[in-house]
């Protein structure tokens, strides 16, 4: 049978070079520190693609070795051709996985998501409870102020208490808004798994995370402003006590609300110490993550096209 063995040897040299290039990239990705941030479900498919490429490369080598003995038959040439076709298909499938994972690892998507999740978890744990405590304090203060207003005599004093009630109620919207944002941030945390950014919804997930952190920055600013409101109400009540305003049977209630307001001012200050800087850090990380996800998707092309190509190759391999 007339077969150009030198041409086959040259083909196998190219095969070896292609296999080496593709598997080198895969092995580098496997060893990457961020690779473990992806779930086993996702990485297992990638590793199986590697194993298939390795398997068919071995079959290709064995078929070539049989020809190198110069006992060339049509059956052996056909066997090598089939082995090479299967190898090439399997290695292409692996290369598709390389394209996806390399893009995400190079952009540090997993690392950025993990860093954001750490900060987000600490932020929610430290601040959500404190906001709840403040909200309870404001509710208690409102009740005490209303009771004092009811118990005092004199239109002027009642008007003063009426104004303090109106003022303290202005604290509710920012605090309740903060509670809603913390719920949204909790949902955001579930999206911060590295896998969530691989698929076609990756960019929209990253955008949603940035939107939630932007809302947090806004509400943190509003919560900061209520400190002035609480202090103003405290000053009004404190002045009544200091000036010896006739409080009648409301005296004990006023003393209690004054004490509560002083404690709430401290609680608010403690919350704002927790907020200080964390709002900017959270938004900075969210913006960085969104940019990285967009860049990764741009680098690897459309995810759907990569996945469909991979599926088609694997289906072709099954039929081989």
pTM of the prediction? Answer: 0.69
Supply the pLDDT for residue 25: 93
| 78-130 confidence digits (pLDDT tens) | 888 888 888 888 888 888 888 888 888 888 888 888 888 888 888 888 899 99
* Residue 158 clears pLDDT 90, i.e. is over it: no
Do residues 182 and 245 both lie within one domain? yes
> Which residue in the block uniquely carries the two structure tokens 């954001």?
116
* Residue 185 clears pLDDT 60, i.e. is over it: yes
Contact 116, 192 (CB under 8 A): yes
**Domain span holding position 29:** 5-106
Residue with more model confidence, 68 or 177: 177
Do residues 225 and 124 both lie within one domain? yes
Helices 202-242 and 109-151 cross at an angle (nearest 10°) of: 30
Number of helices and strands in the chain (H, E): 10, 0
User: 142 lies in a domain?
Assistant: yes
Average pLDDT over every residue of 7-35: 89
- Across 108-112, 184-188, 230-234, 304-308, least confident range: 304-308
Joined tokens for residue 247: 């409080």
Do residues 142 and 25 both lie within one domain? no
Average pLDDT over every residue of 9-19: 86
User: 39 lies in a domain?
Assistant: yes
Joined tokens for residue 282: 């959270």
Supply the pLDDT for residue 174: 95
Do residues 21 and 146 both lie within one domain? no
DSSP 3-state assignment of 243?
coil
Domain boundary among 73, 106, 139: 106
Supply the pLDDT for residue 85: 85
Do residues 59 and 97 both lie within one domain? yes
**What sections of 107-171 are H helices per DSSP?**
109-151, 155-169
Do residues 55 and 114 both lie within one domain? no
Do residues 135 and 231 both lie within one domain? yes
Query: Confidence band (pLDDT; 50, 70, 90) for 302?
Result: very low
Supply the pLDDT for residue 57: 92
* Residue 303 clears pLDDT 50, i.e. is over it: no
Do residues 170 and 238 both lie within one domain? yes
User: 307 lies in a domain?
Assistant: no
Contact 197, 109 (CB under 8 A): yes
Do residues 187 and 281 both lie within one domain? yes
SS (H, E, C) 181-207: HHHHHHHHHHCCCHHHHCCCCHHHHHH
Average pLDDT over every residue of 222-236: 94
User: How far is residue 101's CA from residue 235's CA, in Å, rounded to a whole number?
Assistant: 60
Joined tokens for residue 12: 């196998």
DSSP 3-state assignment of 320?
coil
Q: How many domains would you assign to the chain?
A: 2
Query: Confidence band (pLDDT; 50, 70, 90) for 168?
Result: very high
Query: Confidence band (pLDDT; 50, 70, 90) for 304?
Result: very low
Do residues 36 and 100 both lie within one domain? yes
Joined tokens for residue 142: 């409102």
User: How far is residue 135's CA from residue 174's CA, in Å, rounded to a whole number?
Assistant: 10
User: How far is residue 171's CA from residue 144's CA, in Å, rounded to a whole number?
Assistant: 15
| 25-49 confidence digits (pLDDT tens) | 999 999 998 888 888 877 888 899 9
Domain boundary among 82, 106, 130: 106
């Amino acid at each position: 049978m007339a077969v150009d063995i030198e041409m086959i040897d040259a083909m196998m040299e190219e095969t070896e070079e292609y296999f080496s290039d593709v598997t080198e990239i895969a092995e580098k990705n496997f060893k990457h520190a961020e690779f473990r941030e992806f779930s086993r479900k996702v990485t297992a498919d990638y590793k199986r693609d590697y194993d298939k490429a390795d398997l068919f490369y071995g079959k290709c080598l064995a078929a070539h070795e049989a020809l190198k003995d110069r006992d060339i038959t049509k059956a052996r040439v056909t066997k090598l051709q089939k082995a090479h076709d299967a190898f090439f298909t399997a290695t292409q499938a692996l290369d598709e996985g390389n394209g996806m994972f390399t893009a995400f690892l190079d952009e540090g998507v997993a690392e950025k998501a993990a860093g954001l999740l750490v900060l987000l978890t600490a932020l929610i744990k430290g601040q959500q409870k404190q906001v709840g405590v403040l909200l309870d304090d404001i509710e208690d203060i409102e009740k005490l102020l209303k009771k004092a207003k009811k118990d005092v005599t004199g239109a002027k004093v009642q008007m003063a208490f009426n104004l303090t009630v109106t003022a303290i109620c202005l604290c509710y919207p920012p605090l309740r808004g903060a509670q809603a944002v913390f719920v949204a941030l909790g949902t955001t945390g579930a999206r911060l798994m590295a896998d969530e950014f691989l698929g076609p919804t990756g960019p929209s997930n990253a955008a949603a995370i940035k939107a939630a952190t932007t809302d947090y920055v806004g509400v943190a600013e509003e919560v900061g402003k209520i400190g002035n409101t609480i202090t103003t109400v405290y000053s009004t009540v404190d002045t009544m006590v200091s000036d010896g305003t006739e409080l009648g049977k409301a005296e004990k209630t006023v003393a209690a609300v004054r004490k509560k307001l002083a404690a709430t001012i401290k609680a608010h200050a403690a919350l704002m110490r927790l907020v200080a800087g964390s709002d900017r850090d959270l938004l900075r990380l969210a913006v960085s993550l969104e940019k990285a996800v967009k860049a990764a998707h741009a680098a690897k092309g459309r995810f759907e096209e990569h996945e469909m190509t991979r599926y088609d190759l694997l289906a072709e391999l099954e039929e081989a």
